[in-house]
Amino acid sequence: MRKDVSQTYAAELDAQDSLQQFRDEFYVQPDKIYFDGNSLGLLSKRSEKALLDILNSWKTNGIDGWVKGENPWFYLSEKLGQKSAPLIGANSNEVIITGSTTANLHQLTATLYQPAGNKTKILADELNFPTDLYALKSQLELHGNDPKHHLIQVKSSDGQTLNEEDIIAAMTEEVAFIVLPSVLYRSGQILDMKRLTKEAHHRGIMIGFDLCHSIGAIPHALSEWNVDFAFWCTYKHLNGGPGSVAGLYINQKHFLKKPGLAGWFGSAKEKQFDLTLDMHPAVDSSAFQVGTPHMLSAAPLIGSLEIFEDAGINHIRQKSLQLTDYMMMLVDAELQMFDFSVGSPRNHEKRGGHILLRHKEAARICKALKENGVIPDFRAPDGIRLAPVALYNTFSEVWQTVRILKNIMMEKQYKQFANTRDVIA
């Protein structure tokens, strides 16, 4: 990619875009530039149709919708798990669409965290999304352990990224369980999951990853890397809609472990409606379901995951890197005079699907961007996250956004706003 800040070059890049046809699949508002797909992805027309189809199945079939129609509800969680598996490099029976991010972390921790002797501690990091830490602390307390002493949080040297050497150094003989983000939600740094898994297993430690900011944005190979478990939401890069049903992966070597949080939908399908008082769990990832699936919150994924099948995760990753490379080039050329700095890694192997811009007036600038039709999000204390999503954003939108940012700073438009976050940042 050449260093060319002209609008003509942006148009050239759009003309060469092999994924450009997928933009028409989404409800892109003509007066908005939507760069918040790493918080909530846009609605696709296929997802809308899939939801309406499930509603129609309910309307026409009633309770028979559990076993009739194009997507019988009784088997939908497994079907969506099979469709999700290629996105994380897993065997199809290792993935299930169920629960929420935090509920799935609770399930996996309750199942796989087995403190014994002096091996009782959980290793995490101080930059992970707080819900993971809340869940881990509560699990420690359920085992009678004090989180102040039993939860190790790897420190960041710069407040934005983690040093993998520091993580490995913290894998002491007291650690039983590790939970880390695959992609850091602020800076977009990718952790080397393969290396960290190998180092953890060398020390006899169970390890898993929060994939919320990586699934649908970067390729994975969880089964090949022998990762023990993973969990994720589906409403960011996967475009499943607000509150859409989450997912979990559990390595097949753990299939026979008794689910820590048992519920009837974890039963073997052929046994479930025997309604016996002793559970007969499924012998794959299905066993880690708890309650009845939320059909109306899972349905949009039917359409969304079809788009990922058609586009291909490797093509998505290639365009994503081009978009973020282009954005950083423009920021370097056009915005450095205004004291912006890029808080995301420059290296392709270390950068996920979004860019973090840092500025002391970040909250104000985010509000000014919204006034100008650009949708970012703010992360305290000084972060502006911009996610040009490969399936529906364009290089021209990146060019326009940097131009708008430059005008905001030149005209000091941000000064009309308070430098505080809104209720939802």
The binding site comprises: 101-102, 129-132, 210, 213, 235, 264, 292
- Comparing CA positions, the residue from 204, 181, 203 lying closest to residue 193 is 181
Q: How far apart are CA 71 and CA 50, in angstroms?
A: 9
3 state SS of 75: helix
Q: How far apart are CA 366 and CA 377, in angstroms?
A: 7
Whether the CB-CB separation of 141 and 147 falls below 8 Å is answered with yes
The total of other beta-carbon atoms located within 10 Å of residue 23's CB is 18
The total of other beta-carbon atoms located within 10 Å of residue 230's CB is 29
H helix runs in 336-394, sequence order: 362-371
Whether the CB-CB separation of 36 and 376 falls below 8 Å is answered with yes
Locate 331 and state its tokens. Answer: 């920021």
Which residues fall in the annotated binding site for pyridoxal 5'-phosphate?
Answer: 101-102, 129-132, 210, 213, 235, 264, 292
Burial (Cβ within 10 Å: 0-12, 13-18, ≥19) of residue 17? middle
- Comparing CA positions, the residue from 106, 93, 123, 119 lying closest to residue 253 is 93
Dihedrals phi, psi of 200, to nearest 5 degrees = -65, -45
3 state SS of 224: helix
Give me the residue label for tokens 């992360």. 379
List C-alpha distances in Å: 226 to 76, 196, 207, 221. 26, 11, 10, 9
- Exposure pattern of 163-194 as b/e (b: 16+ CB <10 Å)? eeeebbebbeebbbbbbbbbbbbbbbbbbebe
Query: Pseudo-torsion of CA 356, 359, 361, 367, nearest 10°?
Result: -30
Query: Pseudo-torsion of CA 388, 389, 393, 394, nearest 10°?
Result: 60
Q: How far apart are CA 189 and CA 182, in angstroms?
A: 8
